[in-house]
Structure 1
Amino acid sequence: MTTATLPLKPITEDFKEAVAFALSQHEAARAFVAEVVEGGLRNVFLVGCGGSLTASYPVHFLLETRAGFPVFHMNSDEFNLRKPALLGEGSLVLVSSHTGTTKETVAAAHYAKSTGAKVAALTRDDDSPLAQAADIAFTYRSEDTVVAPKGVLFGQLAYALLEKTGVEGDYAAIRKAYEALPDALYTAQEEGEALAHTIATALADEPVTYVLSAGPNYGAGYGFTMCYLMEMQWKHGGSYHAGEFFHGAFEVVTEDQPVILFLGEDATRPMAERTRRFLDKYTRKAHYVDSRIFSLPGVPEELRGDITPIALDVFGTRLARHYESVRGHDLDKRRYMFQVEY
């Protein structure tokens, strides 16, 4: 039974500043992408580990559904060992690591460049090993605000790729929506506080929690499970695709099994709604994180599906803080990560 608690940490002080700094690199992203496209773009690879890999799920979905070129998404070490046959001249590799020191990701940048691919790094600082290994680095300069600016950096590159390769779209409207994100995502965190407290309080002592999500929101669910529940709270959790859930995993659901379901506003929402109908019927411990609770001022209705994956991912950071507070387990506490050789 949880008895220790910690004060709830506030929304990060530099949140709006970090997101705004990411937004300020919009023209640099467009110029870099224009150069890559003019040089003969053939494909795109999204490469990273942990939270830096989950951050690219929304743009993987975006590009796969709209782009005329193939897009690949994989763990850094698998990228290094798999040695994709299509990697080489004409490839653009977006590599991401918060610290810029993740050894597998730094190695991936070097390997990609050795094949003739262009490499862009998304990382905290422009003097990190990853930034130095890449052709260009897009940064956010914050230790505490990571998810939102990284989502913005990925998104700006993805929309530049779509625009520069001739995909039709209202890019002016998209840009306007992005410029609203410092305030919109801050407000979303405020709007989600009560829900985050409810979930953390209800599930603090549960032995196992399953987390479901789909489409561009899959990274939000997977990232919350692996990076926050398991890594930062030392709690058992499992993340499953809401569509795959009905092909095996749903057999573990009982009336006392906790499940968190993330629901977005994109084309895959029907999968999540089907899952919610099942959970409503078979467990009394289901909790729903529906992006419709976020007002997202400045984001037009028709573009919400493009923005809500970032909002859900940001909500996960606040939910983790509520777990930290309710359980008294500091998010920075580790057994193995950065503590031992691995």
Structure 2
Amino acid sequence: MTQTPKDIIATIKQNNDQIKHVIFTGCGASMADLYPAYYFVAQESQRLSVQIMQANEFNYATPKFVGADTIVITASLGGTTPESIAATKHARELGAQVITLSHNPDSPIVKAAEFVLIHGFEEDYAHKTEKMTMALQLAIEIVNQFEGYEFYDEAQTAFDGLFDLINHEVQMAQGAAKEFAQRYQYVDKIYVLGSGATFGTAYSTASFLFMEMQWITGTTINSGEFFHGPFELALKDAPYLLFMNDGSTRHLDARALEFLQRFDTKLTVIDAKDHNLASIASPNVIDYFNPMLITGVMRIYADELSVARQHPLTQRRYMWKLENY
């Protein structure tokens, strides 16, 4: 029988009700998909320490506290990322409670883990965010079961409406995505801004959708940090992509928006307010649902960009082609 995030955390609590630490670890886009879950625990827990670590950094610079009182959550889309498999095995050897998320139920990372969640990916745009969504569900269960989370029911309501909202908003965004593709098809760099729980989405967009999949230089900037150095490059027609949250860090995004408009940059905004996030998520939980909605909508922008550039998202120079790197 397939376990749910709630089942898994309940079993871990039965095994050890003195959990003190949580580590999220992975590589590339999978690490970025864990960011909203990390952010939730960091914001909402009053007693748990939490970190997010690149998998090979976890392997070679393991925090000394990792042990039976630690939950380690790993992730790998195909389940074959060597560093993430090693991190999963390493965490288990140290006695941690280890959960992995993967799309492939027969993959090496699944076989290495104690607890497993299998997520979708190909079904539709919403399912491309399922790994991120399941990680957030785990984070909410950890906080709720070990210390209580007063807005737990409101979070579940948001989860219930999330995938339908993403798929609907992707359809509504098709025209804007085509316009984005036409405006940006010849750029060689894009600056990507985001804040709060969506900072991981900004990072994955710049590093993977742009750098890995389109060979466009992508730079990630925290919207709040924009005014502490990076804004010097906000020139006329400089290419920017801004993710605007609905929630507590919106002021940071709005401040960056005003500045970028002031100097007539080549700016595209994907705004969770425009995509009706508040229709499913209450003000108490909305911060944590921005990344999934924005990620889902961003995928149609990436698809259209790949068509305009005649550069499929699956095209690579090195990945899957070189054995030794």
The one-letter amino acid of 2:189's match is V
Which letter maps to 1:194? G
- 1:31 pairs with 2:43: no
Q: Is the 8 A contact 1:256 1:284 kept in 2?
A: yes
Residue matched to 1:17: none
Structure 1 residue 134, shift from structure 2 partner: 0.5
Pick from 276, 291, 296: which aligns with 1:309? 291
Query: Conserved in 2, the CA contact under 8 Å of 1:192 and 1:293?
Result: no
Cα displacement (A) at 1:28: 2.6
Query: What is the alpha-carbon distance in structure 2 between the residues aligned to residue 77 and residue 160 of structure 1?
Result: 27
Match of 1:332 in 2: 314
Is residue 258–residue 283 contact of structure 1 (8 Å, CA) maintained in 2? no
Counting only pairs closer than 5 Å after superposition, residues 120-159 of structure 1 correspond to structure 2 as 120-143=99-122, 147-159=128-140
Cα displacement (A) at 1:192: 2.2
Q: TM-score, normalised by structure 1?
A: 0.88
Structure 1 segment 156-175 matched on structure 2, within 5 A:
156-175=137-156
Question: SS state of the match for residue 323, structure 1?
Answer: helix
Which of the residues 25, 31, 35 maps onto 1:53? 31
Give TM-score, length-normalised by structure 2. Answer: 0.92
Give the aligned partner of residue 207 of structure 1: 188
Corresponding residue pairs, total: 318
**Post-superposition shift, 1:297?**
8.3
Instruction: Name the aligned partner's letter for residue 29 of structure 1.
Output: P
**Structure 2 residue 96 is matched with structure 1 residue 117:** yes
Say whether the 8 Å CA contact 1:53–1:75 is kept in structure 2: yes
**Alignment partner, residue 62 of structure 1:** 40
CA shift digits 1:274-327 (9 cap, x unpaired): 111111112331211111111258614424333222101112211110101111
Percentage of matched positions with identical amino acids: 27
**Comparing 99-108 and 212-221, the one that deviates more:** 212-221
Change (3 A) 1:141 1:264: closer
1:92 corresponds in structure 2 to 71
Residue type of the alignment partner of 1:33:
I
Structure 1 window deviating more from structure 2 (297-306 vs 236-245): it is: 297-306
> Which structure 2 segments of 5+ residues have no match?
none
State the Cα distance separating 1:101 from its structure 2 match: 0.3
Q: How does 1:175-186 map to 2 (within 5 A)?
A: 175-186=156-167
Tell me, in whole angstroms, the C-alpha distance in 1 between the residues paired with 2:89 and 2:105. 16
Q: Which is further off, 161-170 or 60-69?
A: 161-170
> How far 1:216 sits from its partner (Å)?
0.4
C-alpha contact (below 8 Å) 2:121/2:129 kept by paired residues: no
Whether the 8 Å CA contact 2:99–2:114 is kept in 1: the answer is yes
Q: Which has the higher contact order (CA 8 A, sep 6+)?
A: 1
Question: Match of 1:41, SS?
Answer: coil
Distance 2:206 2:37 in 1: 20
Query: Which residue type is aligned with residue 171 of structure 2?
Result: E
**Residue 319 (structure 1) aligns with:** 301
Question: What residue ranges of structure 1 are gaps of 5+ in the alignment?
Answer: 1-23
Deviation of residue 144 (structure 1)?
6.2
Q: Would you say the 8 A contact 2:197–2:287 is kept in 1? A: no
State the alpha-carbon separation in 2 of the partners of residues 205 and 152 from structure 1.
33
CA offset at residue 141 of structure 1?
4.3
In 2, distance between residues paired with 1:237 and 1:168?
Answer: 37
SS class of match (1:293): coil
Q: What is the CA-CA distance between 1:270 and the residue it aligns to?
A: 1.2
Q: Secondary structure at the match of 2:186?
A: coil
Q: Which residue number in structure 2 is paired with residue 15 of structure 1?
A: none
